[in-house]
């Protein structure tokens, strides 16, 4: 164990009693990842937050300090952000907004990074805007502009929103809160008649925080946030569909156990270190499919049941695929290799789909443990995957290659006023995305309305500057062709071409392509 953590916790316990067990859990978890100096700083952040929030209560009646402790714990254990400054900032994240301490004072007590992170997630109050929505839009703009400079900002804010949504029941009516506290049933099974505050928080979560969580690759958190929001916004449908999913699991429990046992035995026989589990789709995934396809039965959802198989090495993934292919040889099957050709968001896995004799499909997803970290937690897991890289190196890498960060920065560069800025944020980042593939099989995501020229500049500034058209699904098109979901695109270039014309600026929909084109035009002026 790193230094005498138990002795340190005993010292802490003598000072703070109300929430000491929760703090102990956080510090013990921190002890797995941080050195003595860093843990001292985290304990200092806790003590500071505890003192500043002393006497404050949450709607649940709990001491307020429990909220920042939970946010720090979510950030570390559920989002896998292994960063000392971020954990400190999570503990302090409400101090500027709710206690009156300033960014400058936090910088003197801790460091400029921690102070910047706390200030970045703090809402500005008393802005004299004409409406609450205008004030919220202003704060969202500040948050996203800060996120473009430091990706940890949005991670802390998503962890904060996650805990707030988990405890949203306490913004409800007293009768519902009493029913919840007396009930032994999970909150998901309660009949909830939500009020205006709960609805507003849920709508904001679905429109802002769910898309942002998806853009940074935090899919487990994004799914949970979407489900909780829908639990309040469409409670009757939520309980009905979740009930049907549970009934499906109960009805098929023997089949599920048999499949798990069959896979387990086959992998043990081949000495492949593994972890295998069964999983059903979330309420939101099922509900989207039923609405889109105008279906009513949960059992109609293809791939409702899937099996995730995690192994140590990439070569083991292909060995598992061979084993599954032999096990399910009599049935119709389909394989998609997202390891050889990762998705646009960095997702890597092999999907093996089996259709049984009755026409029902079961999905198998095979990946390494490291791939799973990225698949489930996205950018935030990079600190765990690359423990020898500091946060600045990771941020620099994101600035140069991550589409979400690059889009945030280019939108901020081109649109200084908040109205235009937020309009493009909604259009390019928060809206539904399409996916296209290149001739090499690489996958890219774009907002609806993106063109061939947007893709060309995403590939490389020189490709964009020299693009003269493309072959899309075997057909020649011009650079202003609007891409469609599923298109296969081969960009055509003219090496003698120096740059696009000024008129071509209107062909690009994304701020990134427009910014890069302007830079190229300026360079070749």
pLDDT bracket for residue 441 (50, 70, 90): confident
Residue 384 has pLDDT above 50, yes or no: yes
Residue pair 405/415 in contact (Cβ under 8 Å)? The answer is: no
CATH class of the 5-166 domain in this structure: mainly alpha
Q: Quick one: pLDDT band at residue 133, thresholds 50, 70, 90?
A: confident
Q: Give the model confidence (pLDDT) of 154-197 as tens digits.
A: 999 999 999 999 999 999 888 888 888 888 778 888 899 899 99
Lowest mean pLDDT among 88-97, 180-189, 318-327: 180-189
Assigned architecture for domain 395-523? Roll (3.10)
For CA atoms 186, 190, 195, 201, give the dihedral sign.
Answer: positive
Q: Kindly report, residue by residue over 445-455, the tens digit of the pLDDT.
A: 999 999 999 99
Report the C-alpha gap between 351 and 447 in whole angstroms: 25
Please state which of the ranges 1-15, 144-158, 273-287, 428-442 shows the lowest mean pLDDT. 1-15
Instruction: State the virtual CA torsion across 189, 191, 195, 199 in degrees, nearest 10.
Output: 50
Strands 488-493 and 274-280: unpaired
Q: Which residues contact 480 (CB under 8 A, 6 or more apart)?
A: 451, 452, 453, 506, 507
Distance CA 235, CA 228 (A): 10
The Cα–Cα gap between 365 and 278 comes to: 10
* pLDDT at residue 17 in the model: 46
CATH number of this structure's domain 243-380: 3.30.460.10
Whether residue 275 has pLDDT greater than 50: yes
User: How would residue 130 be classed by pLDDT, with cut points 50, 70 and 90?
Assistant: low
Tell me the pLDDT band of 1, cut-offs 50, 70 and 90: very low
- Categorize the per-residue pLDDT at 57 as very low, low, confident or very high, splitting at 50, 70 and 90: confident
Of residues 358 and 462, more confidence is placed in 462
Please give the residue that has the higher pLDDT: either 178 or 288: 288
Mean pLDDT value of segment 472-486: 96
Question: DSSP secondary structure string, 73-92?
Answer: HIIIIIS----HHHHHHHHH
Residue 34 has pLDDT above 80, yes or no: yes
Confidence of residue 6 (pLDDT cuts 50, 70, 90): low
Q: Residue 271: left if φ>0, alpha if ψ -120 to 50, beta else—which one? A: left
Q: Where are the domains positioned within the chain?
A: 5-166, 243-380, 395-523
| Residue 20 pLDDT > 70 | no
This prediction has a pTM of: 0.91
**Beta bridge mates, 491:** 470
Residues pairing with 275 in the sheet:
310
Least confident of 4-18, 198-212, 342-356, 428-442: 4-18
Note whether 445 and 434 are within 8 A (CB): yes
**102 confidence band (pLDDT: 50, 70, 90):** very high
CA-to-CA dists, residue 396 to 242, 386, 392, 406, 440, angstroms? 42, 14, 6, 11, 26
Please give the residue that has the higher pLDDT: either 356 or 193.
193
Predicted confidence (pLDDT) per residue in 197-229, tens digit:
999 999 999 999 999 999 999 999 999 999 999
Indicate whether 457 pLDDT > 90.
yes
Catalytic residues: 97-98
pLDDT digits (tens, 9 = 90+) for 385-414: 888 888 889 999 999 889 999 999 999 999
Rounded to an integer, the average pLDDT of 35-44 is: 94
Would you state the pLDDT for residue 415?
A: 93
**Residue 501: predicted pLDDT:** 86
Using CA atoms, how far residue 320 sits from 255, 274, 308, 311, 345, in Å, is 20, 10, 11, 9, 24
Q: How far is CA 173 from the centre of its chain?
A: 31
What is the model's pLDDT at position 524? 75
Average pLDDT over the chain, rounded to an integer: 90
> What pLDDT is stored for residue 63 in this prediction?
85
């Amino acid at each position: 164990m790193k230094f005498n953590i138990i002795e340190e916790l005993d010292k802490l316990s003598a000072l703070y009693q109300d929430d000491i067990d929760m703090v102990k859990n956080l510090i013990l978890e921190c002890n797995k990842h941080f050195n003595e100096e860093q843990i001292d700083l985290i304990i200092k952040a806790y003590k500071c937050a505890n003192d500043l929030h002393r006497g404050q209560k949450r709607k649940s009646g709990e001491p307020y300090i429990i909220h920042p402790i939970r946010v720090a714990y979510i950030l570390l254990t559920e989002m896998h952000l292994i960063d000392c400054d971020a954990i400190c900032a999570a503990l302090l994240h409400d101090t500027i907004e709710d206690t009156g301490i300033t960014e400058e004072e936090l910088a003197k007590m801790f460091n400029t990074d921690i102070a910047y992170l706390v200030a970045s997630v703090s809402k500005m109050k008393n802005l004299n805007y004409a409406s609450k929505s205008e004030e919220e839009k202003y704060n969202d703009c500040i948050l996203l502009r800060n996120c473009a400079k430091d990706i940890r900002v949005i991670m802390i804010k998503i962890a904060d929103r996650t805990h707030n949504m988990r405890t949203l029941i306490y913004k409800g009516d007293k009768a519902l809160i009493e029913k919840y506290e007396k009930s032994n049933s999970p909150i998901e099974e309660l009949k909830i008649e939500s009020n205006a505050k709960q609805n507003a928080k849920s709508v904001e979560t679905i429109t802002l925080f769910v898309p942002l969580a998806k853009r940074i690759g935090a899919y487990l958190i994004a799914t949970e946030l979407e489900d909780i929001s829908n639990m309040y916004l469409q409670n009757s449908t939520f309980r009905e569909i979740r009930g049907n999913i549970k009934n499906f699991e109960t009805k098929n429990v023997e089949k599920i156990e048999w499949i798990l046992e069959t896979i387990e035995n086959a992998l043990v026989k081949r000495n492949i270190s593994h972890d295998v589990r069964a999983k059903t789709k979330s309420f939101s995934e099922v509900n989207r499919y039923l609405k889109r396809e105008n279906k009513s039965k949960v059992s109609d959802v293809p791939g409702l049941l899937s099996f995730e198989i995690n192994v140590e090495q990439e070569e083991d993934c292909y060995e598992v695929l061979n084993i599954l292919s032999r096990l399910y040889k009599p049935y119709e099957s389909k394989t998609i290799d997202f390891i050889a050709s990762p998705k646009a968001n960095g997702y890597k896995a092999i999907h093996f789909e089996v259709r049984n004799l009755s026409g029902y499909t079961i999905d198998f997803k095979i990946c390494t443990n490291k791939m799973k970290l990225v698949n489930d937690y996205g950018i935030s897991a990079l600190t765990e995957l690359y423990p020898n890289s500091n946060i600045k190196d990771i941020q620099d890498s994101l600035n140069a290659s991550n589409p979400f960060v690059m889009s945030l920065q280019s939108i901020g560069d081109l649109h200084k006023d908040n109205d235009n800025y937020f309009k493009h944020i909604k259009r390019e980042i928060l809206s539904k995305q399409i996916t296209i593939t290149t001739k090499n099989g690489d996958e890219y995501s774009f907002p609806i309305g993106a063109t061939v020229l947007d893709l060309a500049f995403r590939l490389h500034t020189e490709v964009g500057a020299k693009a003269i058209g493309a072959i899309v699904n075997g057909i020649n098109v011009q650079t202003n062709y609007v891409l469609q979901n599923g298109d296969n695109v081969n960009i055509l270039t003219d090496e003698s071409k120096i740059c696009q014309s000024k008129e071509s600026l209107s062909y690009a929909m994304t701020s990134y392509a427009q910014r890069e084109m302007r830079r190229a035009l300026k360079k070749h002026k």
